[in-house]
Amino acid sequence: LDEERRAKQHWNDPALKFLEDKPKKTARVPEYKGQAPPNRFGIRPGYRWDGVDRSNGFEKDMLVSRASASARRAEDYSYSVADL
């Protein structure tokens, strides 16, 4: 008897609004459209960025040194297994 009464929906039930599905709100944040210099974290610039790179060059130097070290390791490995 109790379950039958609980299953019945009443028109003036104040808790009924909690059971209804609410539409999902998705706030779209605008993205920067254009080329951006790469960084070590892969973070894209904000949509208000004016495109001017105001860094001191550390990111660029670090990425160049990381790429050259990777290329050097690949070259060393290919040289070490070349005579096998």
Q: What is the pLDDT of residue 50?
A: 92
Contacts of 37 (CB under 8 A, 6+ apart): 53, 55, 59, 60
Sequence length of the chain is: 84
**Which of the four pLDDT bands, split at 50, 70 and 90, describes residue 62?**
very high
Q: What is the pLDDT of residues 32-59, one digit of tens each?
A: 999 998 888 989 999 999 999 899 999 9
Q: Please spell the DSSP secondary structure of 44-78, one letter per residue.
A: PPPTT--S---S-SHHHHHHHHHHHHHHHHHHHHH
Q: Above 90 in pLDDT, residue 74?
A: yes
Q: Is the pLDDT of residue 13 over 90?
A: no
- pLDDT above 80 for 21: no
pTM of the model: 0.53
